Amino acid sequence: MLRDLVPSGRTHRLAPLIAGMLQYGVSRALKSKERNVEGTEAWCLVAATECVDPDEAGEFINDLLLRIFKDARVKADRQTAQGIGYSIIEEAIQEFVRWEYMPWE
């Protein structure tokens, strides 16, 4: 999916999609025996859900996301029209951390 969507996709659309994929991974991880084994993907996903700071959550899931992008053979790093670099991964982690945040409720 990422191989098809990332090259021409917009980050503001890709980041929530990737965050949703991570949330799905969390729901699967919570049912896994590996959720209690430190260092496993399941453990990292569950640990990241307990973080309110995107940088802290990134410590748990950044490597997982890098591997997902590598497996899809697409780059996570981009540049704005002004030449400023940014990362789809960083944006996805922010969306992941704010997944339940709905100030209008």
Segment 54-85, tens digit of pLDDT: 999 999 999 999 999 999 999 999 999 899 99
> Does some domain include residue 1?
no
Dump pLDDT digits (tens) for 92-105.
999 999 998 877 77
pLDDT of residue 82: 94
Report the share of the chain in percent with pLDDT over 70: 100
68 assigned to some structural domain? yes
Domain membership of residue 2 (yes or no) is no
Our separate counts of H helices and E strands in the chain read 5, 2
What is the Rg, in whole angstroms, of the alpha carbon atoms belonging to the chain?
14
Question: What is the number of structural domains in the chain?
Answer: 1
Give the chain's mean pLDDT: 93
Please tell me the pTM assigned to this model.
Answer: 0.90
What are the backbone dihedrals phi and psi of residue 103, each rounded to the nearest 5 degrees, phi first?
A: -65, -20
Residue with tokens 């990362």: 87
**Domain around 70:** 10-97
Average pLDDT over residues 12-35: 94
Other C-beta atoms lying within 10 Å of the C-beta of residue 91: 20
Q: Answer whether residue 102 is part of any domain.
A: no
End-to-end CA distance of the chain: 32
